[in-house]
Amino acid sequence: MAGSSGIPSLFTQRVVIGVGDLAVANQPAVTLSTYALGSCVGVVAYDPVARAGGMLHLMLPDSAIAPAKAAALPAMFADTGLPLLFRALAGLKANPGRLRCFVAGGASVLNGPDAFKIGERNVRATFDFLAAAGLVALQPVVGGTSNRTLHLDIGTGLLTVKSPEGQTTRSLA
């Protein structure tokens, strides 16, 4: 029928990861997306063999400032959200040795100086965790003053990074 969508597009599903949340998937028709990473950090991990991926949108570096909040919303903090992301991926049979990671965000989006340096601290906490886990972020896009949006296509491993400056696509497969 003219103008109708193709069969594959009828079954695609977008999963939106909000601030302080995460999602994992191993279904090829799923796209994981998170929007407007300012000082927050987006962490993407993808196993190209298992075709399993996950995305975390963390807001703060250290849960010690709000233990009750961390207990209720562990993905909000780097120190509790990152372990949660990688445990969830292991549950989908993702192999840590095959994971390809990407990090974006950590911008300074306030008008004027950021005395708390939340973006910088989020990035540092994320890279410290990844290094301790023996993982490396491939071509991270961090810092600056622009927000970023991420889309990970689970079926192909393609990651799209959008910012006011433009859009790039890279393969994690």
State pLDDT tens for residues 114-156.
678 999 999 999 999 999 999 999 999 999 999 999 999 999 9
- Quick check: is 147 in a domain? yes
- Asked if residue 48 belongs to a domain, the reply is yes
Strands (E), 21-144: 21-25, 30-37, 41-47, 52-58, 100-105, 141-142
Task: Give the pLDDT of residue 12.
Answer: 83
**Domain span including residue 161:** 7-171
- pLDDT (tens digit, 9 = 90+) per residue, 21-41? 999 999 999 999 999 999 999
Give the pTM: 0.92
CATH number at residue 47: 3.30.1330.200
Count of domains for the chain: 1
Residue 24 lies in a domain: yes
The question of whether 101 is a catalytic residue gets the answer no
| Residue 25 covered by a domain | yes
Q: What's the rounded Cα separation, in Å, for the pair 111 and 141?
A: 21
Q: Read off the tokens for 78.
A: 């780097």
Alpha-carbon distance 40 to 108, whole Å?
A: 10
Residue 3 has a pLDDT of: 45
Residue of 17, 23, 40, 85 marked active site: 40
| Phi, then psi, of 13 in degrees rounded to 5 | -135, 130
Residues 51-81: tens digit of each pLDDT: 999 999 999 999 999 999 999 999 999 999 9
pLDDT at 112: 58
Do residues 137 and 103 make contact, with C-beta atoms less than 8 angstroms apart?
A: yes
4 pLDDT exceeds 80? no
Indicate whether 89 belongs to any domain: yes
Q: Is 2 a domain residue?
A: no
1, part of any domain: no
Judge whether 129 lies within some domain: yes
